[in-house]
Chains A and B, each alone.
Chain A
């Protein structure tokens, strides 16, 4: 479903070239819950941006659902993001002038077959907060709104960039539970990047990155229960 074929990404600043991702080969199946683990600067965000169609690789190919998105132009990438993927960011990235319901509608508006606002809010446990503004919610609740916004388009893949990075342990676990439940019940592929080793314990599969290279790719037959992990 998601394939990286010798994918590399270089960034150039003046005469200095930084190799953010080097020859990454990877294949993720539909419905997997994958954690990409690595320290800051290891290339995990770059990998997520490439898989999510936010950026082009310098070399190699990115294939999603048999479509080589690394050959896509910006217009085609927009169509790809529109139909296929959802994003959840560390900073929630909600629009503060809109209510919870309106924030979710922003994504529903461009979807061909969107879920209902009520359904996705129920899925993240926030159905009571539909008319509230983001500033009236806690950090964890805001992140769950951002997950609901990503889900309303019924994406086949959900990319999460440090979704619990700004949250304390208990709240973070709640968010992770939501993601895990969605993955299990809707078979939505979840790709989550984090530097937190504990979070990796709940994944079906863990991919470790260091200095732009994949140094480990392992499947976990018995992931830990969220309640059992400690940050």
Chain B
């Protein structure tokens, strides 16, 4: 049993490394050449949705501006809309040492049986982010379309099938991929599911004919030196009116993260593998030591008879080699088997090309032979160290005398405590090295479990977090009716808060469908009259705090507001402001609104676009299921590893006390009393470690959340729920008890007087 569990730990180290290494390699080898060949953008620039006075003046000869918003301008004068885009691109190219290309796209609905799916149709580019055709042919006529292969596979679509977009039928001519991965981020909630969403390519005419207002940004390449957003705003403070956001591809979660993810996966896989195998190696070391120690007398006799150390250790090393090799190979085999699943998990998030899983010699050596070598070397030195003494010392080992400074100092610390506590800690101090290994092992095991359960909420909160706090059923954009809209008027605008991109949402104090509460549940809507309320996600990304003054930049307009509070809203980079103030400030019309929140299904005929919240959530449900399964797998693996480590360490620790347990029984101690004396110290130690892990986990979760927010503008809402803490505590308690009982059972099978003759502390 003990050996099998130990084998499992060794196997898992090889399994994790192999699965991650092979899975990530299959993507990396296809992806990096793809990015080069199809000229992935170095950065993306988003410009304001509001037309600024400089543009109005510059283009006054060709355009008669009657709208403040670009979307409105497109409805009124398409040529002028494109003129503004060209003007902005040229203005940016004049200022910066870069190449820019306008990236245009339109969001629309696909009708499939009873379901409505979403499509983002891309206008083909000329030199940046060139389309990759993965199968079939590119569209040649206005009624042809190319889509993502993942979407086609998930919906049983093939080349030649028909797709209905905005009630028009298109023939699928092929499958495509686009290297600019910011495209799949639809709306202000991070989500992308190829079950119900796809990117698509049409001919230029087909794109223009699609009855939707295009979205756009500029894709760019650095010509000489690279710079980031901070450099840009420092070098060109006046550019704020033109640049809403400047995002380096490497800092975009969907694109840039892939570099870090792939290299990070190697590192994470290796790190996890090293951590797990490290613990495994330590446990193997302790077990080898224990086995050899318990055979010291026969070893001494054999040595006295003339056998050499090598001859004595050879059977042990042979067994260790075969045992470790077996489980490492098993781990490698399982890792190889599961690596396609790991690769496919990546491809759920990243629209990337991939290659079949291929055997890698270096990966094989790292997964199997490196840990094997370490195990053998460690085993060799442990045994050598134990056997490298005179035969007589093996036959009659001298008493291991306690007397280290740490031991004596530690004992003096507990001098004033009662007998039991003094005794418990004396024995912990007596085996300080082993206890240190135990502390590290248990700490790691508990943390691994916390990490695993902490991740459980991530996807749930990322997807549902925002909408779960609201009472909105549908959201309408571009109201075209004449009567008052049937819902609550709001303004949604992209803006720049200091240097951080955000979505500014204008709410009214009497808003019902979009409540705004802080962590304590206090209503924050009344505070909007005095300043801004920011979401917790935005706070993490920008670092602003209540009381700070921030610059809100909407186009060329720039206004100063005070941050009043932080709303308990994940995810979304949301900044809330009083709608009337926003409307008056930007549009000189205190009743301006561009979106309607409703608790009913809004009439699609009255709006340019209506989003049904339930549909949005349904879109991610299937993806949620897959990811959740993967998370449960990770959680399960983490818990199993943790539990095995705890079990093995507890077992070893109790077996170490064979002699003490036997002695106490002879003296007349009851089972419970022995338990209290021998295991009580470890129980207290376990509780201490457990209590230490909680703040450590909370701290690291916050650091991870902060790191992701700063680096990828992505909130990773890792949480530690009381129920999870309780669950893990109960699980570890049970494992501790089971391991103790198992060890005590072993002790009971040994004759008490014999135990006293065999074992010595």
Chain A contact residues, CB within 8 Å of chain B: 45, 49, 54-55, 75, 78-83, 85, 87, 89, 91, 93, 95-98, 102, 105-107, 109-110, 133-135, 149, 153, 161
Contact = CB atoms under 8 A, between A and B. Distances in A.
17 contacts: A54-B666, A78-B670, A79-B670, A81-B665, A82-B667, A82-B668, A83-B668, A93-B663, A97-B427, A98-B426, A102-B422, A102-B426, A109-B419, A110-B667, A110-B668, A133-B402, A134-B399
A93 B660 contact: no
A89 B673 contact: no
Interface string B626-665: 0000000000000000000000000000000000100111
A105 B419 contact: yes
List the 6 shortest-distance A-B pairs measured between CB atoms, nearest first.
A82-B668, A97-B430, A81-B668, A135-B401, A97-B402, A54-B752
Interface string B438-475: 00000000000000000000000000000000000000
Contacts of A95: 660, 663, 761
Contacts of B399: 96, 134-135
Interface residues of B, number: 32
A202 to B, nearest CB: 24
Nearest to B756: A93
Contacts of B667: 81-82, 87, 106-107, 110, 149
Nearest to B401: A135
Interface string B415-430: 0000110110011011
B760 interface: yes
A55 B666 CA distance: 11
Nearest to A97: B430
B669 interface: yes
A55 B753 CA distance: 9
A78 B400 contact: no
Contact of A110 (B673, B753, B760, B761): B673
Contacts of A89: 753, 756-757
Nearest to A55: B751
B761 A96 contact: yes
A79 B664 CA distance: 12
A110 B666 contact: no
Nearest to B760: A91
Contacts of A79: 668, 670
Contacts of B671: 78
B753 A96 contact: no
A128 B430 CA distance: 24
B756 A91 contact: yes
A79 B663 CA distance: 15
B403 interface: yes
Interface string B673-688: 1000000000000000
A44 B202 CA distance: 100
Contacts of B660: 95
A113 to B, nearest CB: 14
Given A55-B751, A96-B761, A78 B419 contact: no
B582 to A, nearest CB: 72
B423 to A, nearest CB: 7
Interface of B: 399-403, 407, 419-420, 422-423, 426-427, 429-430, 660, 663-671, 673, 751-753, 756-757, 760-761
Contacts of A87: 666-667
B385 to A, nearest CB: 21
Given A91-B756, A93-B663, A97-B427, A110 B669 contact: yes
Nearest to B402: A97
B426 A97 contact: yes
A97 B666 contact: no
A75 B422 CA distance: 27
Contacts of A106: 423, 664, 667
Nearest to B752: A54
Nearest to A108: B419
Contacts of B752: 54
Contacts of A107: 667-668
A153 B666 CA distance: 13
Contacts of B751: 54-55
A109 B757 CA distance: 24
B712 to A, nearest CB: 53
B668 A153 contact: yes
Nearest to B427: A97
Contacts of A102: 422-423, 426
A196 B645 CA distance: 51
Contact of B665 (A78, A97, A149): A78
B397 to A, nearest CB: 12
**Max chain A CB contacts within 10 Å: which of B402, B403, B666, B756?**
B666
B338 to A, nearest CB: 47
Nearest to A107: B667
Given A96-B401, A102-B423, A106-B423, A81 B666 contact: yes
A110 B419 CA distance: 11
Nearest to B429: A97
A219 B34 CA distance: 102
Contacts of A93: 663, 756
A96 B751 CA distance: 22
B401 to A, nearest CB: 5
Given A81-B667, A95-B761, A135-B399, A54 B753 contact: yes
A112 B282 CA distance: 44
Contacts of A105: 419
Contacts of A149: 667
Contacts of B419: 105, 109
A102 B665 CA distance: 17
B669 A78 contact: yes
Given A82-B667, A95-B761, A135-B399, 8 more contacts: A78-B670, A95-B660, A96-B400, A97-B429, A102-B423, A109-B419, A109-B420, A161-B753
A156 to B, nearest CB: 13
A54 B670 CA distance: 14
A109 B421 CA distance: 13
A58 to B, nearest CB: 14
Nearest to A135: B401
Nearest to A150: B667
Contacts of B407: 97
A153 B669 CA distance: 12
